[in-house]
C-alpha cells in the first residue's frame, strides 16, 4: 500500500475495540435522561454524531445539554475506562508506529482525555501520536472535513493532502476523509462493507504497511 507522511486514525472500533465501554456509556447516559438504550445499537451509534443518536432516540431537546454532560462524565467512569479491549494486532501495531517514528494522529468523536486514559491502561506511550483531535477541539463533526483539516493544521508541518490518510471503521470516517481531500482507508474486520473507489478496504491494521 502507498506510504504516507501522516497517518490519522479514528479511535473507537479502529485502534481499539471500545464497543463494550461505549455500550455502558450509552446505556447509563440515556438512562440518565429517562430513555432505554438497546445494546445492539452500540456500533451504529458509535459511528454517528451524538446529536444524531439523540434525535433517533427522540430525546427531549430540553435535556440535551444534561445528556451531553453526563455522557462526557460517564466516559471517565472506571468501568468505561477499563472495559476497552485491544484487537489482536492493536498493541503491536501502535508499538510499530512508535518504534518506526511514523507520524500519526488520532481524530475521534470521543474526548481526547478519555482516549489518553485508555492508552495509558494499555501502556501505550502518549507520544506514539503527534496529534490528538477530539470532540472538544472542533465544532463540526464527521463527515464534515473540519476534524481532519484541523488535525493536519495542528501537525505544524507542510503536508500536502496527498501526504495524508485517514483510517476509520465506518462510512462517516470515509466521507470525512473524502470531504477533506485526503485518502480514506476503511478497516472492515467482519466483511461488513463493499469495495469502493472512495476508499481502500483492509481487514487488519498491519495491512497499512504491506
Per-residue pLDDT band for 200 (boundaries 50, 70, 90) equals: very high
At residue 177, the pLDDT reads 98
Residue range 65-117, pLDDT digits in tens: 999 999 999 999 999 999 999 999 999 999 999 999 999 999 999 999 999 99
Q: Measured between alpha carbons, how far is 200 from 171 in angstroms, rounded to an integer? A: 12
User: pTM here?
Assistant: 0.90
Amino acid 15: pLDDT: 98
- Give the per-residue pLDDT at 71: 95
Over residues 192-196, the mean pLDDT reads 95
Q: How do residues 112-163 score in pLDDT, each as one tens digit?
A: 999 999 999 999 999 999 999 999 999 999 999 999 999 999 999 999 999 9
Res 12: pLDDT: 94
Cβ-count burial 40-74 (b if 16+ within 10 Å, e if not): eebbebbbbbbeebbeebebeeeeeeebeebbbeb
DSSP string, 81-141: HHT-EE-TTHHHHHHHHHHTT--EEEE-SS-HHHHHHHHHHTT--GGG-SEEE-TTT-SS-
49 has pLDDT over 90 = no
Confidence class for position 189, pLDDT limits 50, 70, 90 = very high
For residue 31, is it left (φ>0), alpha (ψ between -120 and 50) or beta? alpha
Q: Element (H or E) spanning 191, and its range?
A: none
Give me 186's grid cell: 476503511
pLDDT confidence bin for 47, thresholds 50/70/90: confident
Q: How many angstroms separate the Cα of 120 from the Cα of each of 9, 15, 116, 145? A: 17, 14, 6, 28
pLDDT at 142 (0 to 100): 94
Q: What grid cell was written down for 121?
A: 491502561
pLDDT in tens, 152-180: 999 999 999 999 999 999 999 999 999 99
Residues 16 and 114: beta-carbon distance below 8 Å: no
The pLDDT of residue 123 is: 96
Which residues, listed in sequence order, are joined to residue 183 by a DSSP beta bridge? Answer: 165
The sheet carrying 6-9 orders its strands as: 131-133, 104-107, 6-9, 164-168, 183-187, 200-202
The mean predicted confidence, pLDDT, of the chain is 96
Q: Specify the CATH number of the domain 6-17+85-209.
A: 3.40.50.1000
What H or E segment, with its residue span, contains residue 7? Answer: strand 6-9
pLDDT in the model for residue 194: 95
Amino acid at each position: 500500500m502507498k506510504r504516507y507522511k501522516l497517518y490519522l486514525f479514528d479511535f473507537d472500533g479502529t485502534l481499539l475495540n471500545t464497543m463494550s465501554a461505549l455500550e455502558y456509556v450509552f446505556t447509563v447516559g440515556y438512562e440518565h435522561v429517562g430513555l432505554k438504550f438497546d445494546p445492539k445499537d452500540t456500533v451504529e451509534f458509535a459511528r454517528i454524531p451524538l446529536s444524531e443518536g439523540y434525535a433517533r432516540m427522540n430525546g427531549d431537546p430540553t435535556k440535551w445539554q444534561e445528556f451531553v454532560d453526563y455522557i462526557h462524565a460517564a466516559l471517565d467512569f472506571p468501568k468505561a475506562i477499563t472495559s476497552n479491549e485491544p484487537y489482536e494486532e492493536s498493541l503491536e501495531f501502535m508499538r510499530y508506529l512508535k518504534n518506526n517514528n511514523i507520524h500519526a494522529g488520532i481524530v475521534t468523536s470521543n474526548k481526547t482525555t478519555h482516549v489518553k486514559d485508555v492508552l495509558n491502561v494499555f501502556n501505550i506511550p502518549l507520544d506514539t501520536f503527534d496529534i490528538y483531535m477530539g470532540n472538544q477541539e472542533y465544532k463540526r463533526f464527521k463527515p464534515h472535513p473540519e476534524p481532519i483539516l484541523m488535525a493536519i493544521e495542528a501537525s505544524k508541518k507542510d503536508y500536502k493532502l496527498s501526504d495524508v490518510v485517514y483510517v476509520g471503521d465506518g462510512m462517516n470516517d470515509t466521507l470525512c476523509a473524502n470531504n477533506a481531500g485526503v485518502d480514506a482507508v476503511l478497516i472492515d474486520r467482519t466483511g461488513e462493507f463493499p469495495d469502493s473507489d472512495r476508499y481502500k478496504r483492509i481487514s487488519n491494521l498491519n495491512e497499512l504497511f504491506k
